[in-house]
Amino acid sequence: MILLFYTFATLIVFLRLIKGPTFADRLLTLDILANISILGIITYAIMIDSALYIDIAFAIVLLSFIGTLSIVKWVKKK
C-alpha cells in the first residue's frame, strides 16, 4: 500500500516537472522528488530494521539541500 502511494506521488510530481512553466517550478519538483525518495529509503529502512539506510537518507538530505541552495544562489546572480 505504501509503495502505491509513493508511486502515485512520484507520477504527480513528474507531471508537474514536465508541465512546470517556470524554472522555479521545476526546481521545486526536483526537491520534492528527492524528498519522496528519502521517504522511500526511510520506509524501507524501518521495514528491514537497518540503521544504515537512515544514514544514507541523511546524506541525500544534505546533498539535496546544498544543491538547492547553490542553484538558487546561481539563479540569483544571473
Q: Is 47 a domain residue?
A: yes
Q: Is 50 a domain residue?
A: yes
List, in order, residues 6 or more apart from 16 with CB less than 8 Å away: 25, 29
Q: Is 55 a domain residue?
A: yes
Count of domains observed in the chain: 1
Residue-level pLDDT, tens digit, the chain, 78 residues: 888 998 999 999 999 999 888 888 888 999 999 999 999 999 999 999 988 999 999 999 999 999 999 998 998 887
Q: Is 14 a domain residue?
A: no
The CA distance from 65 to 24, in Å, is 15
Query: What was the pLDDT predicted at 9?
Result: 92
Residue range(s) defining the domain that contains residue 32: 25-72
Q: Is 18 a domain residue?
A: no
Query: What was the pLDDT predicted at 45?
Result: 94
Q: Is 61 a domain residue?
A: yes
